[in-house]
Amino acid sequence: MEDFDYYEILEVAKTASADEIKKAYRKMAMKYHPDKNQGDTEAENMFKKVNEAYQVLSDEAKRSNYDRYGKAGLGGGSQGAGFGGFEDFSDIFDSFFGGGQRASRREPRENLDVAAEVHIEFLEAIFGCKKEIKYRYDKQCTVCDGTGSKTGKRESCPACHGKGQIYQKQGFMTFSQTCHVCRGAGSIIKDKCQKCSGIGKEQVDEKFSIDIPEGIDDGNRLRVAGKGSVGKSGNRGDLYVIVRVKEDRVFVRHDDDIYVEVPVFFTLAALGGKITIPTIRGEREIEIKSGVKDKEHIVIKNEGVSNVHSGARGNMIVQVKITYPKKMNQEQEELLKKLHESFSHNHGNEPHHNVFEGVFEKVKSWFKN
Ligand SMILES: [Zn+2]
Ligand SMILES: [Zn+2]
């Protein structure tokens, strides 16, 4: 089996959100789809890889195992490429060959990774911040030392006679099933520990501060190594911090670009001129060209968010909103009437002829973005 990185194949960052992974998968699957690349073995190979990567990265548990241990963490060993679950494969294998040592000794894999959410403000995500994370993890019960038993003793499971598997013979074949009484352990606890009710674990509340990097976005995950639950052998899983970013009243963020709607008074839209607008880094003056249209976009390069990985800045997109006076005094109304008449006499600039142009512009703008 060829070795390749699942994140690289989908062209996403290791911190990518579930949504970003889904989008990337759709894009890649479309690109390499066999219908579009008939007879192209290279594309076919890529299509398989993209599917394999998505199988793993779209599953929270598989993804965290992959993050920690690579492909070895997926339990498939070197045969890796299966499309279904890797665990299922070994189950099928066991049931065909009647269990054997491998099955009876197999214990459910400990998942020691923990997830926590942190809520931050819009600008905190853009410029980075320090935040306190509060979360809960498991460790072995201190009373029973993780055994779940008062005396620390376990006894052989009466349902499976200590094998952990129940066997059924059908014709030539013997099928095995994990014992539902001991869940495959082969032994049960007789006198349950009072502190943990036989679970063998206790919960610990923890809090500490983490640095949230500049440019982080809603749904991104930060991995803090060694802050997860404590396993039987004393090893610790990881903590995954999922970042939730609040919306802003003024700005809208899309990836590393910032959108803002700016009111432009109709006389200024006609004449052109300078206006002051808010940006994420403070106020700034921009030039409005004469004849600017409603909903027109003015792009200010490099005034967006610094990308969390590359540091490259996105753009700021200013959308013009042409505003009109709610009320006019007599003098203003007369001035406007005079202006209107002066255009009506000047051929080629008749306002009535241009009514439909405005309508079409608006309809077109519905399809932008
Ligand atoms: Zn206990
Ligand atoms: Zn049993």
Query: Ligand 2 centre from 195 Cα, in Å?
Result: 24
Alpha carbon dihedral 24, 25, 31, 33, in 10-degree steps, equals 180
CA–centroid distance, residue 37 to ligand 2 (Å): 52
Residue range 290-300: mean pLDDT, rounded: 95
User: Distance between CA atoms of 55 and 22, rounded to whole angstroms?
Assistant: 11
CA dist 255 and 249 (Å) reads 17
Q: How far is the CA of 336 from the centre of ligand 1 (A)?
A: 84
pLDDT digits (tens, 9 = 90+) for 5-30: 899 999 998 888 999 999 999 888 88
Residue 332: the pLDDT is 94
Residue 106 Cα to ligand 2 midpoint, Å, equals: 13
Q: What is the pTM of this model?
A: 0.58
How does residue 131 score in pLDDT terms, banded at 50, 70 and 90? very high
* 114-245 fold: Chaperone, DNAj Protein; Chain A (2.10.230)
DSSP 146-178: TS-BSSS-EEE-TTTTTSSEEEEEETTEEEEEE
Q: Summarize the confidence of residues 207-227 as an average pLDDT.
A: 94
> What fold, for 6-84?
Helix Hairpins (1.10.287)
In the numeric block, which tokens belong to residue 52?
Answer: 């394999």
Start and end residues for every CATH 2.60.260.20 domain found in the chain: 251-366
Ligand number nearest CA of 147 is 1
> pLDDT digits over 80-108, tens only?
333 333 333 333 333 333 334 343 344 45
Q: Where in the chain is the domain with CATH 2.10.230.10?
A: 114-245
Whether the predicted pLDDT of 358 surpasses 70: no
Among the residue ranges 85-99, 164-178, 188-202, 304-318, the one predicted with the least confidence is 85-99
**CATH number of the 251-366 domain:** 2.60.260.20
